[in-house]
A and B are shown apart, each in its own frame.
Chain A
Amino acid sequence: MHVTIDQDRCCGAGQCVLTAPTVFDQGDDDGLVRLRTDRPEPAVQSDVRLAAALCPGGAITVHDSNT
């Protein structure tokens, strides 16, 4: 799985950080999404999918691949 983010679409309420804290973070000053990793471990991939679905701004995209 490969994850990309689009900060322009982020509204910073942190649903992603609540849902998959090992993958998403927020900038201390702007509150916008940051990636801790763009290749999430298999164990958290379902959380990442949920985070993408919950993201109110549509800022998270999950690309499936065989890695």
Chain B
Amino acid sequence: MTTVANGEADSALAVPADRGTCPFAPPPAYEQAHRAGPINRVSLWDGSPCWLLTGHRQARFVLGDRRFSADARVPGFPFLSPGRRELLDRTTPTFIRLDDPEHSRQRRLLTGDFIIKRVEAMRPQIQQIVDEALDRMVAHGGPADLVREYALPVPSLVICLLLGVPYADHGFFQAQSQTLLSLNSSLAEVDAAQHALNSYLVELAGRKQREPDESVLGRLVAKGEVTLEEAAAMGVLLLVAGHETTANMTALGTLALLQNPEQAERLRADPSLIKGAVEELLRYLTIVHLGIPRVALEDVDLDGTLIRAGDGVLCMASTANWDEEVFTGGDRLDVTRDARRHLAFGFGIHQCLGQPLARAELQIALQTLLERLPELRLAVPFEDLRYRSDMLVYGVHELPVTW
């Protein structure tokens, strides 16, 4: 192990740390470390040292500072697990794992598609997708697994809408993206699904080149600045970044409301609270929970601690979002809180591109669920639920509910 700049020995804290008894709370070991100070030296799963930033101000500083790179090919970049998702990241970098200027060049081909105005215009179609998913779940009858029947299909169909996938191909698209994200798929199955989606999107992009439309893919190929393969790769990135995240936020957000019935009641009584409530749920639950990774490109002084070029840094949005300096009583869910400073979508130039869409989906999906199923409740004991503790995106594996 290397000696560290501030002369302290590496702490015993191993990352990722285990969750405690409350499934909504960040790992107790991080909270404990934070009480001693917001800048911690830790060791990763492979034994390599890394900085763990638990404070809101420190995490925000690093994410907003271009001296820290998001490029996984830079030596020292902290990998969170030997997981296959990160293997994919390493082999085909899209702009989420690139620095400027290339990051910006690619991102700007898409920013026009995610502006508030366009997303607002999609609301009626998102509402329809939500209504139909809920109709199907209710028609099957309870108890139902809310993850499978509601939380997963909604964002998948919204991405179909976004990319301009024709209705007839929705089944194929959903099945492949399910395989891509499922824990039960083998590496070979993941590869095959990734391939199938990729060739499908290349083909679709080609069709849109001949018959232009207003979808993301249609607009992208019309710009004439990317090849069909690059357009398809961006489509896959949107799917990977936008499906699992929104799905897990929907299910875990529902669970948090079921466990805090007085908060759910407030929302039912005053639907105008939904926007703030979604920000608060994003803050409280921070599903991108293993830390947002960066590597220092030069020596940086962070509050008197020297971060050296090549040091890996993990910005813990979860503890930052419970930081008492910014969110008083942050360990409580309060749908009336002003939570807008949360870091659940990250910060800096990589801050979530899809956030306007994610917000619209969550607002509509959660509000519709609360309104249409006033008796919604867990169909199993709370203690029996299993969580995605070791996965990049946190959530609940299954959420059996009845109504």
Instruction: Decide: A30 and B351 in contact? CB cutoff 8 A.
Output: no
B111 and A32 contacting across the interface, CB-CB below 8 Å: yes
Instruction: Say if the beta carbon of A13 comes within 8 Å of chain B.
Output: yes
Known interface pairs A13-B114, A26-B116, A31-B113; A54-B341 also in contact (CB < 8 Å): yes
A58 contacts which chain B residues (CB < 8 A)?
64
Does A64 count as interface, using CB distance less than 8 angstroms?
Answer: no
A31 to B114, CA, bound (A): 7
B102-135 CB mask vs A (1 if < 8 Å, else 0) is: 0010011011111111000000000000000000
Q: Taking the nearest CB of chain A, how far is it from the CB of B154, in angstroms? A: 21
Smallest Cβ distance from B103 to chain A, in angstroms?
Answer: 9
Q: State which of B243-251, B255-263, B352-360, B377-385 sits at the interface with chain A.
A: B352-360
Residues of B within 8 A of A13 (CB): 111, 114, 345, 351-353, 355-356
**Separation of A56 and B110 alpha carbons in the complex (Å):** 17
A29: B residues at CB distance < 8 A? 112
List the A side residues contacting B348 at CB < 8 Å: 56-57
Residues of A within 8 A of B63 (CB): 56
Contact flag A57-B114 (CB < 8 Å), given A14-B356, A30-B108: no
Please name the residue on chain A nearest to B63 by beta carbon.
Answer: A56
The CB with the most chain A CB atoms within 10 A, among B63, B111, B114, B347, is that of: B111
Cα–Cα, bound, A41→B293 (Å): 40
Which of the residues B104, B112, B351 comes within 8 Å of A56, measured between beta carbons?
A: B351
* Residue pair B349, A57 in contact (C-beta under 8 Å): yes
Query: Do A26 and B340 touch across chains, with their CB atoms under 8 A apart?
Result: no
Give CA–CA (A25, B179) in the complex, Å. 39
- A35-67: which have CB < 8 Å to B? 50, 53-54, 56-58
Complex Cα gap A56–B116 (Å): 16
Instruction: Find B347's partner among A14, A27, A56 (CB 8 Å cutoff).
Output: A56
Range of interface residues on B (Cβ < 8 Å) = 20 to 34
Beyond A13-B356, A58-B64, whether A50 also contacts B112 by CB under 8 A is: no
**A27 to B107 Cα, complex, angstroms:** 15
| A14 CB contacts on chain B under 8 angstroms | 114-116, 355-356
Q: How close is B354's CB to chain A, nearest CB, in angstroms?
A: 8
Assess whether B340 is in contact with A17, with CB atoms less than 8 Å apart. Answer: no
Give the residues in chain A near B108, CB-CB below 8 Å.
Answer: 12, 30-32
Question: Within the assembled complex, what's the spacing in Å between the Cα atoms of A28 and B350?
Answer: 21
Query: What B residues does A26 contact at CB under 8 A?
Result: 115-117
A56-B348, A58-B64 known; A28-B353 Cβ under 8 A: no
Q: Could you tell me the distance between the alpha carbons of A54 and B342 in the complex, rounded to whole angstroms?
A: 9
Name B349's closest neighbour in chain A (CB-CB).
A11
Q: Taking A11-B107, A13-B356 as contacts, is the C-beta distance between A28 and B341 under 8 angstroms?
A: no
In the complex, what distance in Å separates the CA atom of A48 from the CA atom of B108?
Answer: 24
Closest Cβ neighbor of B275 among chain A residues: A18
Binary interface encoding of chain B residues 56-98 relative to chain A, with 1 for a CB under 8 A from any of its CBs, else 0: 0000000110000000000000000000000000000000000
Residue from A15, A26, A29, A31 having most chain B Cβ neighbours under 10 A: A31
Which 4 pairs show the lowest CB-CB distances between chains A and B? A31-B111, A12-B111, A56-B351, A26-B115
| B residues neighboring A (CB under 8 Å) | 63-64, 104, 107-108, 110-117, 340-341, 345-353, 355-356
Q: 13 A-B residue contacts at CB 8 Å?
A: A12-B107, A12-B108, A13-B111, A13-B353, A14-B114, A14-B115, A30-B112, A31-B110, A31-B113, A31-B115, A53-B341, A56-B63, A56-B346
Residues in chain A within 8 A of chain B (CB atoms) = 11-15, 17-19, 26-32, 50, 53-54, 56-58
Please name 10 further chain A to chain B contacts, defined as beta carbons within 8 Å, in addition to the given A30-B111, A56-B348, sorted by A numbering.
Answer: A11-B111, A12-B111, A13-B356, A14-B116, A17-B116, A27-B115, A28-B117, A32-B108, A56-B63, A56-B351
